[in-house]
Amino acid sequence: MNLRTVGSKAPSFSLYNQDNALIESETYLGQQKILLYFYPKALTPGCTTQACNLRDTQTAFTDKKVKVMGISPDKPDKLKKFADKYQLNFDLLADEDHKIADEYGVWGEKKFMGKTFDGIHRISFLIDEQGIIEQVFTQFKTGDHHEVVLAAISK
């Protein structure tokens, strides 16, 4: 993994969301910040906790002019089920070939229950209006991710 760092240019992306709409990062340049959070798999307990907490604090992010977007290697139809089941109020983006995860440096070797495999590491990036990585969040739990990010944004 070659994790992107604070101060570096955020890789641009064009990915389909849960509604099969193409979402392009360039659209937000000069407009607002982006919280881009990478998560391993839709409809799993940890990812659900993280997403629902972001859903429930969406107003706080909107007030700070931060657009929340989640990225996973899931297909858009699975993202649609996830968004509908939990009434998620932000875009979930499908990075099926993990190209964007690779560019951000969050795709790599993981270990779980004695098995080693490649997958997405749960890492978030706050990208400023000029497309520069302002903060990288690596130290959080799925249950407090939203609090950690909001505290950092509020400083």
Q: How many CB atoms lie within 10 A of CB 87?
A: 8
Coil/strand/helix, residue 138:
coil
Distance set, CA 79 to CA 28, 59, 84, 137 (Å): 22, 22, 8, 23
Judge whether 52 counts as a catalytic residue: no
* Nearest of 152, 151, 154, 104 to residue 131 by alpha carbon: 104
Do residues 25 and 10 make contact, with C-beta atoms less than 8 angstroms apart?
yes
Point out the catalytic residue in the list 10, 23, 47, 51: 47
Alpha-carbon distance 123 to 105, whole Å? 9
Query: Catalytic site residues?
Result: 47
